[in-house]
Structure 1
Amino acid sequence: MRVLHARRLGSVCAVVAVTVGAVLAGCAQQVPGTPTTDAAEVAAYKTAAAATSSAAASSRAAAARDKAITDNCTQFPTTTGAGVTAFNDFVSAHDSNAPDYAAKRESAATTLDNAATKVETGVVAAAGALPTELADKFSAYVTAARELSTQTRKMTYNSPVDKLNTASRAINQARTAVHDAC
């Protein structure tokens, strides 16, 4: 059996390519006339393209909304639960005149501030994808958490507890509203 040399193979391929190119060029013929469009087909295409684009945008918006709700609602109980625990520890220390009262007061206030910041960050990160009603509930929680933090920091053993109790009720209502909405 005879083996083809690389030069011979290259020459054969070149001859075949030139021959095929010449045949194709000979078969090509320009079609005379002016191109036109069918107005009905153009209108139908535009309508179909707009509907497809609208459906895709709607689908993207729904997916973004679902992700924003899931992301924010999933982390909310854990984030805010830490604030509840720290605040309850502070109340216990206050009620029992515990020696670590000041440390627990500061810990509760800081934890409430951190929870408010984390919830607020989640809402901002959702960039409007959250339904307005739910975003408003998250924002109400943030406001209530910061107010409770402020009132907690003001507490001493001799302070009246009216403002602290009012702030505590407000955060509980805000937390429950978010929980129910999620």
Structure 2
Amino acid sequence: MKLLNPRGFGLVCATAAVVAGSTVAGCAEQVEGTAHPNTSELAAYKTEAAASSAAATSSRRAAAQSQAIDDNCAQFPATTGLGVTSYNDFVDAHDANAPDYAAKRDAAAQTLEDAAVKVETGVNTAAESLPPDLAAKFNEYVAAARALAAETRGMTYTAPVGPLNEASKRVNDARNAVRDACPKR
């Protein structure tokens, strides 16, 4: 029994393909006229493409919003916690008439200001991606922290503590509002 020669078989197949292609091409006839799209299919395609584009945009927007919420809410406790700790150290020094009172006062004011700047930067970086109600809560914290920093800087042993206590309450309320609005981890 003799096997087929692969080269010979390939040559026969190639020749048959060329002959078949030439026959089909020679029998082809050109159609007269101008090509026009099927208007109903074109309209359906445009509608589907617009819906797909809108879905992709919505998906990107949702992903950006989720990322902005995660970025801002994740950093908030640590950033503002430093301000709380430093402020509490200042209050303890004030109440104890400690010799390092002025240094702790200034450190507390600066730490509160630094926290306000960091939170504000996060909100500004997120821009439109952060939901407006959450952005407003972050911005309230920023304003409250700056007000407490200003009150803290102005404190002396003889200054009334009422405005300082009010500013401190405002910061605590703002921190709680942000924590309540952020997703639980």
- The alignment's TM-score, normalised by the length of structure 2, stands at 0.83
Q: Which amino acid aligns with 1:92?
A: D
Aligned 1:87-166 pairs, distance under 5 A: 87-166=87-166
Secondary structure in structure 1 of the residue aligned to 2:98: coil
**What is the correspondence of 1:13-24 to structure 2 with a 5 Å cutoff?**
none
Shift of 1:128: 1.1
1:179 aligns with: 179
Deviation at 1:33, TM superposition (A): 2.3
**How far, CA to CA, are the matches of 1:137 and 1:31 in structure 2?**
69
**Structure 1 unaligned runs (5+)?**
1-19
Per the alignment, residue 44 of structure 1 pairs with 44
- In 2, the alpha carbon distance for the partners of 1:87 and 1:33 equals 84
Please give the alpha-carbon distance, in whole angstroms, between the structure 1 residues aligned to 2:164 and 2:128.
Answer: 32
Gaps (5+ residues) in structure 2?
A: 1-17
TM-score by length of 1: 0.84
The 1-side partners of 2:31 and 2:79 are apart by: 71
Cα distance in 2 for partners of 1:27, 1:75 equals 70
- The Cα of 1:127 is off from its aligned counterpart by 1.3
Q: Does 1:53 align with 2:53?
A: yes
Distance 1:115 1:55 in 2: 37
Residue 34 of structure 2 aligns to which amino acid in structure 1? T
Q: CA deviation at 1:31?
A: 4.8
| Distance in 1 of aligned mates of 2:95 and 2:25 | 99
**Alignment match, 1:67:** 67
